[in-house]
């Protein structure tokens, strides 16, 4: 890996449009799912659930019609790769959705696009129109027995709607509040019907796998984290942007390429991810070590880690849906604690108490938002304790 | 509210339900259309939506109040939303915020007395590689500088129709 790697899509640009779809339609549905399972593709939206397993469950679930939902809510701070995918290779995303529809027997697809990306909508509608004209969407696609079409739904400014059950709630015309899981969307999804929700990049990977084969895909990356992955890199580095690396790349290697070698710490996985200090830059970004949906935020030596923790906590206080107590109250309490630390008024005992509260939130919150909102704070406390404690009180400064 | 305005809302919502269906799942798209056209989702329009979809108005109210991009009270013609999340923060969002306050004469959460501008914070909007970033209605502006704040505000002031000015092209890749 050399530092001549430039930002942008690499492997994904080599995908021949509709090669994957044609290959899929020539095979049986179970064969298609088998190919995805064999590739060991895991979801690119953050949680890393095996896509083959998800499709298999939805295929086996009873209920008609079935739905394919593409999650383009991309709200995780520091993530913007889906925006680049949708700007440059939207056609492949829709192809991947069509392959998924064939695999599970779905007839309707929905692209859930975040409100902030409204400016992309016209061009996406255009791509859809062209696909309809080419019989790549609509009735009897390419002469097969598959009938499938895709609508675009806009989000309206709520991070939590990226959570798949909250997304479905909002599609159904309710507040975007996460549901209890189980039941999972694969059997009780949109309108109570079997629904596959996948990330934008996951659908692109699926199209690539059907076109180039599972073996090609699983040869890239590590044993448990196969394939190429897009990273959204921002913050204190020379060349922020979207990069493609095989999963398993170390933080050090990544920083070399983006020009962020003097970093003090890196936030991997966005606000809900973890903060990795310079001493651990030899760690690998993949599902078995530092897991991420692709967000990498670089912090230079001049950055105040408490300020960063505060910014993340403010984000969660704002974005919590308020449905369950650990998250609604816990985030506010942690933010209050951070403000105490800022004023140099936090005892060690209280800080330990805050960390315990964070652990309780991880265990008892209803959805992934509250379960992961303390991560950034906890990892910053763990690695930068000395920097946080004993700040001079503003009045005495 | 003028009676004619009420009639217009009624006609619009009826037309939109014809187009989008009267299932509850049409609610968010309809509310978004109302917000875009009327710059608010008034209690009256909530009642109309509820009637059309056959649900209680409080159900509509609960959805309107959930989403940041839907509003019960009137918004300015141009809603400026500045990202306050970490990478834009590190890229200098505080400066841009102050310039916006100075140029518009209002603070965040407020609307100018002439009803032209509303100023709001927003969470990360997916432009982190090009911060500081802001939205003017649906349009994205990246790598915003204090000078650009002035240009953006002036372009809005000069324009008549909604967003009749040209934004800088939004770049999807960094230009190295
Ligand atoms: C608070 C929260 C926000 C999320 N936001 C997104 C998002 O913006 N995009 C996304 O693809 N997945 C998001 N997810 C994960 C989804 O719930 C879901 O796991 C994912 O869409 C499944 O797709 P995948 O298996 O292809 O990754 C979010 C989860 C949580 C808890
Ligand atoms: S964890 Fe937070 S976002 Fe999730 S359901 Fe509970 S309050 Fe809502
Ligand atoms: S942090 Fe501002 S756009 Fe992401």
CA A376 to chain centre: 16
Contact A295 CB / ligand 1 (< 6 Å): no
List ligand 2's pocket residues with C-beta within 6 A. A 160, 178, 320-324, 327-328, 365-367, 369-370
Res. A309 pLDDT band, cuts 50 70 90:
very high
CATH number of A305-396: 1.20.1440.230
How far apart are alpha carbons A395 and A392 in whole angstroms? 8
Q: Which of B53, B63, B138 faces A175 most closely, judged by CB atoms?
A: B63
Per-residue pLDDT at A1 exceeds 70: no
Instruction: Give the position, in ligand 3's atom list, of the atom nearest the Cα of A77.
Output: 4
User: Thinking of the domain A228-299, which architecture would CATH place it in?
Assistant: Roll (3.10)
C-alpha distances in Å from residue B32, one per residue of A14, A118, A194, B63, B105: 37, 12, 27, 11, 28
How far apart are alpha carbons B71 and B54 in whole angstroms? 22
Ligand 3 centroid distance, CA of B123 (Å): 7
Q: Which of B66, B85, B140 faces A158 most closely, judged by CB atoms?
A: B66
CA A362 to chain centre: 19
Res. A46 pLDDT band, cuts 50 70 90:
confident
User: By the CB < 8 Å criterion, does B87 face chain A?
Assistant: yes
Nearest to A210 by CA among A39, A15, A23, A54: A23
Residue A147 burial class via C-beta count within 10 angstroms: exposed 0-12, middle 13-18, buried 19 and up: middle
What residue spans define the domains of chain B? 5-66, 78-169
Ligand 1 centroid distance, CA of A163 (Å): 5
User: By the CB < 8 Å criterion, does A235 face chain B?
Assistant: yes
User: By the CB < 8 Å criterion, does A308 face chain B?
Assistant: yes
Nearest to B127 by CA among A6, A120, A241: A241
Give pLDDT tens digits for A157-207: 999 999 999 999 999 999 999 999 999 999 999 999 999 999 999 999 999
What average pLDDT does the segment A34-45 reach?
Answer: 97
Ligand 1 centroid distance, CA of A277 (Å): 26
Q: Which segments of chain B does DSSP mark as H helices, in order?
A: 3-20, 27-38, 43-53, 57-66, 86-90, 93-104, 146-158
pLDDT at A396: 60
pLDDT at A293: 84
Indicate where chain A has its CATH 3.10.20.600 domain(s).
228-299
Indicate where chain A has its CATH 1.20.1440.230 domain(s).
305-396
Instruction: Give the position, in ligand 1's atom list, of the atom nearest the Cα of A369.
Output: 1
What average pLDDT does the segment B143-163 reach?
Answer: 86
Per-residue pLDDT at B169 exceeds 70: no
CA A99 to chain centre: 21
Instruction: Give the position, in ligand 1's atom list, of the atom nearest the Cα of A74.
Output: 8
Nearest-Cα distance to chain B for A312, in Å, is: 7
Give pLDDT tens digits for A258-302: 999 999 999 999 999 999 999 999 999 999 999 888 999 999 999
Res. B173 pLDDT band, cuts 50 70 90:
very low
Per-residue pLDDT at A7 exceeds 80: no
Pocket test for ligand 2, best of A168, A324, A375 (most atoms within 8 A of CB): A324
Contact A71 CB / ligand 1 (< 6 Å): yes
Q: Which residues, including other chains, have CB under 8 Å from residue A122's CB and lie 6 or more apart?
A: none
Q: Which segments of A200-324 does DSSP mark as H helices, in order?
A: 200-212, 214-218, 251-258, 305-319
What average pLDDT does the segment B105-131 reach?
Answer: 96
Per-residue pLDDT at A4 exceeds 70: no
Q: Whose CA is nearest to atom 18 of ligand 1?
A: A164
pLDDT at B171: 39
Instruction: Give the position, in ligand 1's atom list, of the atom nearest the Cα of A368.
Output: 31
pLDDT at A9: 87
Give pLDDT tens digits for A62-112: 999 999 999 999 999 999 999 999 999 999 999 999 999 999 999 999 999
Give pLDDT tens digits for B2-47: 668 899 999 999 999 999 999 999 999 999 999 999 999 999 999 9
Res. B73 pLDDT band, cuts 50 70 90:
confident
- A11-218 CATH fold: Rossmann fold (3.40.50)
Ligand 1 centroid distance, CA of A199 (Å): 7
**Residue A162: in which H helix or E strand, if any?**
none
pLDDT at B175: 36
Q: Specify the pTM.
A: 0.94
pLDDT at B131: 92
Per-residue pLDDT at B112 exceeds 80: yes
Mean pLDDT of chain A, nearest integer: 95
Tokens of A328: 């609604």
- Which value does ipTM take for this structure? 0.93
Domain B78-169 has what CATH class?
alpha beta
Closest chain B residue to the Cα of A5, Cα to Cα = B176
pLDDT at B21: 94
Give pLDDT tens digits for A210-262: 999 999 999 999 999 999 999 999 999 999 999 999 999 999 999 999 999 99
Mean pLDDT of chain B, nearest integer: 90
Kindly state the DSSP code that residue A200 receives in the 8-state scheme: H
Pocket test for ligand 1, best of A74, A199, A287, A370 (most atoms within 8 A of CB): A199
pLDDT at A205: 97
What average pLDDT does the segment A351-373 reach?
Answer: 97
The three-state secondary structure class of A386 is helix
- In chain B, residues 98-157 whose CB comes closer than 8 Å to chain A: 122-131, 135, 138-140
């Amino acid at each position: 890996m050399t530092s001549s790697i430039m930002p942008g899509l690499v492997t994904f640009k080599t995908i021949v449009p509709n090669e994957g779809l044609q290959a899929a339609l020539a095979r049986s549905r179970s064969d298609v799912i088998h190919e995805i399972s064999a590739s060991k593709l895991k979801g690119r939206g953050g949680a890393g659930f095996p896509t083959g397993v998800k499709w298999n469950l939805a295929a086996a679930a009873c209920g008609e019609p079935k739905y394919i939902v593409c999650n383009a809510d991309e709200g995780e701070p520091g993530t913007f790769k889906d925006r680049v995918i949708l700007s440059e290779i939207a056609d492949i995303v829709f192809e991947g959705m069509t392959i998924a529809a064939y695999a599970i027997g779905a007839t309707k697809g929905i692209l859930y696009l975040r409100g902030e990306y409204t400016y992309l909508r016209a061009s996406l509608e255009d791509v859809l129109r062209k696909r309809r004209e080419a019989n790549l969407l609509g009735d009897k696609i390419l002469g097969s027995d598959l009938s499938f079409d895709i609508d675009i739904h806009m989000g309206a400014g709520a991070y939590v709607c990226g959570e798949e059950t909250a997304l479905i709630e909002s599609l159904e015309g309710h507040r975007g509040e996460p549901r209890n899981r189980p039941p999972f969307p694969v059997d009780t999804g949109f309108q109570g019907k079997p629904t596959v929700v996948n990330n934008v990049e996951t659908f692109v990977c699926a199209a690539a796998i059907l076109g180039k084969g599972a073996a090609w895909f699983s040869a890239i990356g590590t044993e448990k984290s196969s394939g190429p992955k897009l990273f959204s890199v921002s913050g204190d580095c020379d060349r922020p942007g979207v990069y493609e690396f095989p999963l398993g790349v170390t933080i050090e290697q990544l920083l070399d390429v983006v020009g962020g070698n003097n970093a003090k710490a890196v936030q991997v996985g966005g606000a809900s991810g973890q903060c990795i200090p310079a001493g651990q830059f030899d760690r690998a970004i993949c599902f078995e070590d530092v897991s991420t949906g692709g967000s990498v935020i670089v912090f230079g030596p001049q950055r105040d880690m408490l300020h960063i923790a505060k910014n993340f906590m403010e984000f969660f206080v704002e974005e919590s849906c308020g449905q369950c107590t650990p998250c609604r109250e816990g985030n506010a309490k942690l933010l209050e604690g951070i403000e105490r630390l800022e004023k140099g008024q936090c005892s060690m005992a209280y800080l330990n108490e805050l960390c315990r509260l964070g652990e309780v939130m991880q265990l008892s919150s209803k959805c992934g938002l509250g379960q992961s909102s303390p991560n950034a704070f906890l990892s910053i406390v763990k690695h930068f304790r000395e920097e946080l404690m004993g700040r001079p009180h503003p009045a005495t400064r | 509210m003028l009676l004619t305005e009420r009639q217009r809302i009624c006609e619009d919502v009826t037309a939109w339900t014809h187009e989008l269906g009267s299932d509850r799942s049409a609610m968010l798209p309809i509310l978004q259309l109302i917000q875009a056209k009327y710059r608010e989702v008034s209690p009256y329009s909530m009642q109309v939506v509820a009637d059309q979809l056959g649900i209680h108005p409080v159900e509509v109210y609960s959805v309107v109040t959930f989403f940041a991009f839907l509003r019960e009270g009137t918004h300015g013609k141009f809603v400026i939303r500045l990202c306050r999340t970490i990478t834009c923060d590190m890229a200098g969002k505080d400066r841009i915020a102050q310039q916006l306050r100075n140029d518009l004469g209002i603070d965040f959460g407020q609307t100018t007395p002439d009803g032209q501008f509303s100023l709001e914070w927003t969470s990360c909007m997916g432009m982190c590689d090009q911060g500081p970033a802001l939205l003017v209605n649906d349009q994205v502006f990246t790598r915003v500088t204090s000078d650009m704040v002035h240009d953006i505000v002036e372009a809005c002031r000069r324009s008549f129709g909604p967003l009749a000015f040209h934004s800088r092209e939004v770049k999807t890749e960094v230009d190295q």
